[in-house]
Every structure is written in C-alpha cells, then in structure tokens.
Amino acid sequence: MSIGSFHPNVRTLMGPGPADVHPRVLAALARPTIGHLDPQFVAMMEELKDLLRYAFRTENRLTMPVSAPGSAGMETCFVNLVEPGDQVVVCINGVFGQRMKENVERCGGVPILVNEPWGRAVDPGRLEDALKANPEARIVAFVHAETSTGACSDAKTLVEIAHRHECLTIVDAVTALGGCPLEVDAWGVDAVYAGSQKCLSCTPGLAPLSLNERALEKIQGRATRVQSWFMDLNLVMGYWGGEHKRTYHHTAPVNALYALHEALVMLREEGIENAWARHRRHHLALRAGLEALGLELIVPEAERLPQLNAVSVPAGVDEALVRARLLAEYSLEIGAGLGALAGKVWRIGLMGYSARAENVLLCVGALGAVLNDLGVSADTGAAVSSTHAALLP
C-alpha cells in the first residue's frame, strides 16, 4: 500500500473539542521554526505569559503553558500541590471531576468526595458540609466548566468557602478560559489549568495554567519530592521563569506556541469581555433553534455553560446514527455523551472560532433535517427562523 501526504476533509467542529481553529492561528503554525532558546523565542515566551495573564485575569508570576494537553495541566497542578497523606475535597459532577479524584489517589492523597448529579453545578452548601466534617483537608478541587455535561459551577463562591476553611483550590477551567467569566485574581483561585483547543481557537496540545503565591509556598514547602520530573514546577520554572536566562528543561513545541501566542493576541484584540458576550449570544441563538426543534437542554438555565450545550436525545432516536449522518452529509461534528450520559445526550460546542452565526445556523438546520428524515417531527424552518431572530442585534 502506498502512503502519501495526509489531507483531511474540512469539518465544522461543534463538539466538546477541539473547536475550529482560526485561519490566523493555522498560519502561525507555518512560520519558520527557531530554537527554543533563541533570543527571539525567549522574547515571545515573555509575551505569551503576559497574554495568558490577560486571559486568566491574573497577575500571577507563575502563569505559562504546559507543553502537553489540558489533562497534563491537571496533572501538573495535582502532582505539585498534593503530597502523600493530604486530604483533598474533590467535587464531582461529571467525568472531569472523576479524573481529579484519580489524580489525588495517584499522588498518594486521600480524596474526600462531594458527589453531585450529572448536569448540575456543584452545591456550595454540600462543599461547606464536607469541609466542616473534614477539618484536616487542605485542598479543594472542582471543575468550573464541566465539559461532560455543560454545567457551570459558581467558582467564586466555592473558592470563598475553601479559603474560609484554610484550603487551597485547584480549578479546572479547560472549557471555561475565554468562553465565560473567569476571574482568577478577583476570586482568589490558587491553581487553575485550561486547554488550548477550546475557547481560545487554538490547536490541541498545550495547557495554560496559573498558580498564585499561596500555591507556590505549598510547592516550595513540600516534605517530599514531586513525583513527576517533567511536571515538577520547581524545574520547569527554570525554563519559563526568568526573563533572560533560561535553564534547559525540555524542547518546547515551538510552532504550537506560535499558534497559542496568535490565538491570545486575537483574544486581546477582541477583548475578553466581548469574547464572553459572543459565546453567550451564540448560545442563546442555538438554544432558540433547538427549542424550536422540540429539543431540550439538560442543565437548568442558571447553571448552563454557553460554550458547551448538552442536549437530550429524543426517545427512540439512535444518537450515534444522527452524529454519523451529520458528519457524512454536512461535515459537521457534534459530540456524544460520556459516562452516565452516554447515549442520552449530544454535546454541542460553541467554542472560540466555532462560536459563529454560520455554524449555529448550520447546526440547527442540519440537525432538524436529519431528525425529520429519521421520523422525528421537527419544524426545521421555524427553528432556523428562531435562530436568525436570536442572532439579530
């Protein structure tokens, strides 16, 4: 068999990630590769840290991208902050809270679980009860924007509760960053990690994170060595920390960092509050269209993420067949449910460059057409009209 160059079809990505990558970001990937210790590259790294501080709304000096996907950002926070025997309260309302629990266990920590129904935000009262019942806990971990369900928890309140009980916080903002309000400094978040492939309109493979001075004190005061060499922030900061002198740690993904830099430049050009508003506006338009098709979002309105919409699959419908037809006939990707929601929901993403009017209209029209063809009564014309109306200024 002869193997030649790979040329994928163009897709419209409206699943849980990756999202559509902006053409400017794709162009940035093609710029000339230079050395990861080249003075030009080092200068770009400093700009990248400043741009990430803008996106996270923080002044934290330890703000940088991990050279690996969002899951590695999660692991970096846990392996640096959790030592053997540490009690960690983990709030679980979906798949990614479960992954936090596993990270605690692999670090030798003791997870104390606050379990919530999937599709609901974390209940602050239940976190308070867990901390009162476990006064030795010193870390609280939760997902701000749960990608598996589309639920958004009240990060500000959860952090306030954790701090009242003298706990540090680890926050998963993989789907939140750039798509909905996230105020790292104003809310007092101690450690936060995200991903490049969601609302930043960038390629997968990088994990922005930010840790404040309280978190750094915990890391520097560890009684045991960080179990991961690659993710040990004491070592990584020798490469990312200084403005001029760099200590070699690993070969950074040079072109991928060009792409993230460009994506963050675009975010600052748009204005982060405008980006939040854009995601919200297109979510409301998508909701109008879905409701006109007779479909329902599973998350209560006050707890919904604008950038990730979990939609109930109508009774008797083969959800996998619908996704397959959307991909084959419309080159449109939406996501399946995970875990407890597998087979029960579609996950429709409106993240970054995917949060555009043409994508919302395509999704509503294509989904209505496929459902009608499968015998589900759906007024596609009314749905598209409702979507149009919601998109008007």
Q: What is the pLDDT of residues 203-222, one digit of tens each?
A: 999 999 999 999 999 999 99
* Sheet (strand 335-336) strand order: 308-312, 345-349, 335-336
Question: Could you give the CA distance from residue 236 to residue 153 in angstroms, rounded to a whole number?
Answer: 31
Q: Can you give the length of the chain in residues?
A: 393
Q: Give pLDDT tens digits for 294-331.
A: 999 999 999 999 999 999 999 999 999 999 999 999 99
- In 50-138, where do the E strands start and end? 62-66, 87-92, 110-115
What dihedral do alpha carbons 291, 296, 298, 301 form, nearest 10°? Answer: 30
Give pTM, 2 decimals.
0.96
Whether residue 243 has pLDDT greater than 80: no
Question: For residue range 247-294, what is the model confidence (pLDDT) as tens digits?
Answer: 788 888 999 999 999 999 999 999 999 999 999 999 999 999 999 999
Q: Taking 90 as the threshold, does the pLDDT of residue 66 lie above it?
A: yes
Q: What distance in Å separates the CA atoms of residue 255 and residue 252, rounded to the nearest whole number?
A: 9
Sign, CA torsion 280/285/289/292: positive
Q: What pLDDT is recorded for position 75?
A: 98
More confident residue, 37 or 368: 368
Q: Examine the pLDDT at 147 and tell me if it is beyond 90.
A: yes
State pLDDT tens for residues 333-356: 999 999 999 999 999 999 999 999
pLDDT at 94 over 90: yes
Write down the pLDDT at residue 246: 75
- Please give the average per-residue pLDDT across 74-95, as a whole number: 98
Mean of per-residue pLDDT scores for the chain: 96
Please enumerate in sequence order all residues whose Cβ is within 8 A of that of 100, keeping only pairs 6 or more positions apart, or say none. 74, 78, 90, 92, 141, 142, 143, 170, 172
pLDDT value of position 244: 58
Domains of the chain: 23-268 (3.40.640.10), 272-391 (3.90.1150.10)
> If DSSP codes are grouped into helix, strand and coil, which group holds residue 207?
strand
Q: In the numeric block, which tokens belong to residue 332? A: 């449109």
Please tell me the distance from the alpha carbon of residue 289 to that of residue 193, in angstroms, as a whole number.
33
Contact present, 144 and 155 (Cβ < 8 Å)? yes
Is residue 241 pLDDT above 90, yes or no?
A: no
Residue at token pair 């619908």: 322
